[in-house]
Amino acid sequence: MKQKTSVLFLFCLLLAFSLQAQGQTQIIAHRGYWQTEGSAQNSIRALELADEIRVYGSEFDVHLTADNVAVIFHDDTIQGIAIQSATYDEIKDLTLANGEKLPTLQEYLEKGKTLTHTRLIFELKPHQTPERNQEAARTVVEIVDRMGLKDRTEYITFDMDAGKEFIRVAPEAAVAYLRGDVAPAELKALGYTGLDYHYNVMLEHPEWFEEAREAGLTINVWTVNDPEIIRQMVMSGVDYITTDIPEEAAAIAAHPVTTIENI
Ligand code: MG
């Protein structure tokens, strides 16, 4: 019994060292830290709260209105109005679930500028045409750069045209692709710095963990809300986990070994 215990201890120690060697998985609050009193998805308050809990990053979603105002919201429509075909004036007074006014990118980044910790994980939502996707990417990079937040912003997108435009106009920025349909080596050749795929995509392509590492790409997985899968992803050595339960995920990432049950 004693021998079994010490073998187990040694195993845990080795595992802990190997995880440390790879670097600890960092946590990204999906749409900010919104599952808490007074917050709401993609609200400025959710960004503040993500900063308060000191996770690596806070993710948010951006659309351009028809008259080119960048606003923060996840869905294509807000209260029945299609954001990308509306003018800003038509949607500017709509509110989020916590009573906040729909934030513009400008307002959101103004708050971001006052925060000291969280990185801004900027998801540009797909727009109607390849040209519009490229234009949207150029527009938002210009705003981020003008606000002096170039060094704290990382771009993610499902849209390949937008992704390529980010790589072209923000060559020093981290840019990751979300759709999950491109192999790591190909992403690397296109100039991406990371992949940001649904965790099921990575489970279906276990060889992509190694391929991404060999290519020097970062690995981010979304949106992992099951503690058991969070633990599994941490053990796989992913760089980032995007989650709606950032505090719990951070605790698991800090101590994945001690939380293993029934070894
Ligand atoms: Mg998003």
Q: What is the pLDDT of residue 3?
A: 63
Expressed in angstroms and rounded, the spacing between residue 176 Cα and the centre of ligand 1 is 12
Residue 109 near residue 120, CB atoms below 8 Å: yes
Rounded Cα distance between 178 and 87, Å, is: 28
Task: Give me ligand 1 centre to Cα 113, in Å.
Answer: 20
* Amino acid 258: pLDDT: 64
Q: Rounded to the nearest whole angstrom, what is the distance from the C-alpha of residue 260 to the centroid of ligand 1?
A: 30
Q: How far is the CA of 243 from the centre of ligand 1 (A)?
A: 11
- pTM, two decimals, is 0.91
Please give the distance, rounded to the nearest whole angstrom, from the Cα atom of residue 50 to the centre of ligand 1: 15
Give the pLDDT means over successive 10-residue stretches in the chain (263 positions).
Answer: 59 52 86 97 98 98 98 98 98 98 98 97 98 98 98 98 98 98 98 98 98 98 98 97 98 81 51
Distance 119 CA to ligand 1 centre (A): 15
Ligand 1 centre and the CA of 117: distance in Å?
20
The alpha carbon of 11 and the centre of ligand 1 are apart by a number of angstroms equal to 38
User: How far, in Å, is the centroid of ligand 1 from the Cα of 18?
Assistant: 31
Residue 21 has a pLDDT of 46
Closest among 244, 251, 240, 229 to 119, alpha carbons compared: 240
Name every residue whose Cβ is closer than 8 Å to that of residue 102 and which is 6 or more positions away in sequence.
Answer: 71, 72, 73, 78, 91, 92, 94, 95, 96
